[in-house]
Structure 1
């Protein structure tokens, strides 16, 4: 099929045509707006989400500090349901906060450690235990996934709303055809015989 013929077939709703209905023009505008919002809005939403997530991860890396803590109880190797061993278990530790006070709390530590051994834990600016911050490479990957997910969520929402609007237009067209058939149908139903 020649390119100009293909373009004419694809853009029939935009051409002046005696068979073109008001609903066809409205549907063309809905599709145009829908795809514009998906492409532009999805790109902007994805980039903003990825940038915000990257900022949060950078802030976590800047705020969290690793400190040495003392393990308060033994951490035996743990069996899993499949029969293997777990690498980490929750245990009590004691550490010193940035203001010099000593605190105790529970965190994940490697299994097989004895009470009194040194472990590395992470704390925030107030001295509370926190998980280790996400590394820069992992943060970039996770930010990309979050941005892609946000763009996909927006696209799904817009396409869903557009599909509902087009479905409603189709229902109105079918109702119009039914009304017209109620007028024309009896004229065609003459029985011969």
Structure 2
């Protein structure tokens, strides 16, 4: 693209910012609204995504630090696995375990299917000796944090886009109303005959 064409293209994109006798106040307002939308979408989206990802990652790290595995005895059996070879199914079952303070506790948690009563299983408990789900490992936590951060960035970008679209629609309605009022004044003059 030659220098002249490129300059013309840039001028065309920035026409709302230049002095122009046909430029209306609404055109300037619309240009500022679009600029703010892009700043919010790019900068705000990056900040929101980063903050959310860090908070989620820290929460998973806190869970990994607080939760620890405990050996427990299964008090009730679980249903057999499906005949189609469905590995990885889990069911709620009653278990008994000894807490670090030496007290024997019972509770319900998810364990693999196909286990019989009396089987030894690994369960997870938190610092208050309450059964909790297994914490996410660092790789799973990182993926979850990144996806949550991306979702937050997209949500903020979508919200700014919808807000900008609504504001531009209102500006368009205002311009249409102004054009209609001007046409009411000018339109009848066009129908006059000159002879």
Instruction: State the alpha-carbon separation in 1 of the partners of residues 161 and 79 from structure 2.
Output: 53
Other-structure match for 1:54: 57
Other-structure match for 1:131: 133
Other-structure match for 1:175: 177
Unaligned runs of 5+ residues in structure 1 are: none
Q: CA deviation at 1:78?
A: 4.8
Count of matched residue positions in the alignment of Structure 1 and Structure 2: 190
Unaligned runs of 5+ residues in structure 2 are: none
Other-structure match for 2:160: 158
Q: 1:6 aligns with which of 9, 16, 31?
A: 9
Query: Aligned ranges for residues 25-174 of structure 1 at < 5 Å?
Result: 25-79=28-82, 85=86, 87-174=89-176
- Deviations, residues 53-77 of structure 1 (Å, cap 9, x unaligned): 0000000000000000000022221
Instruction: State the alpha-carbon separation in 2 of the partners of residues 98 and 176 from structure 1.
Output: 77
Instruction: State the alpha-carbon separation in 2 of the partners of residues 174 and 191 from structure 1.
Output: 28
84-93 or 1-10, which moves further after superposition?
84-93
Q: CA deviation at 1:79?
A: 4.4
RMSD of aligned alpha carbons: 1.7
Runs of 4 or more above 6 Å deviation: none
Scaled by the length of structure 2, what TM-score is found? Answer: 0.92
Instruction: State the alpha-carbon separation in 2 of the partners of residues 94 and 146 from structure 1.
Output: 36
Q: CA deviation at 1:99?
A: 1.9
Instruction: State the alpha-carbon separation in 2 of the partners of residues 17 and 85 from structure 1.
Output: 70
SS at 1:13's partner residue? coil
Instruction: State the alpha-carbon separation in 2 of the partners of residues 181 and 119 from structure 1.
Output: 82
Other-structure match for 1:16: 19
Instruction: State the alpha-carbon separation in 1 of the partners of residues 190 and 12 from structure 2.
Output: 32
Instruction: State the alpha-carbon separation in 1 of the partners of residues 168 and 42 from structure 2.
Output: 19
